[in-house]
Amino acid sequence: MRAVLQRVSHAAVRVQGEVIGQTGPGLLVLVCAMQNDTEAQADQLAARVAKLRIFQDEAGKMNLSVRDVAGSALVISQFTLAADTRRGNRPGFSAAAPPAEGQHLYEHFAARLAQEGVPVETGRFGADMQVELVNDGPVTIWLEA
């Protein structure tokens, strides 16, 4: 699985103009299930996200996790993280998990992150979503499990 984490002061996702999920301060997590990914990989990724020390401590050092700062997460499915751009001008997405498998792993990841003690809100799998955020830092981290 792949994820892009952004430390945010606020993030929200809309579907057809309606806010369906939001967070802040905390993390915006864009997540993509790849071909042959497993629940074990989703579990590993969720544990890493929960423990990743990218929030500032009293000394201004990135030394605290989202749990340490009592933050929350907005988890958005983003199959375009599987983009293959090595050839041509149009990305290929064949490395992404099939939709049913991708949805299962996305939902499993979000549930597992919540079990790690991080309050989680989500987007809607497969929907046309508008995501807005205020990136804090900016801090953007790419993870793969």
Q: For residue 47, give every residue at least 6 positions away whose Cβ sits within 8 Å of its Cβ, in sequence order, or none.
A: 112, 116
Return the active site residues: 78-80
Cα 119 to Cα 104: distance, rounded to the nearest angstrom: 19
Domain residues for the domain of 55 are 2-144
CATH number of the domain bearing residue 116: 3.50.80.10
Contact in structure between 68 and 55 (CB atoms under 8 Å): yes
pLDDT tens-digit map of 81-95: 999 999 999 999 999
| Prediction pTM value | 0.95
Low-confidence ranges of the chain (pLDDT < 70): none
Q: State the virtual CA torsion across 104, 74, 35, 88 in degrees, nearest 10.
A: 140
Residue 64: what pLDDT? 98
Structural domains of the chain, count: 1
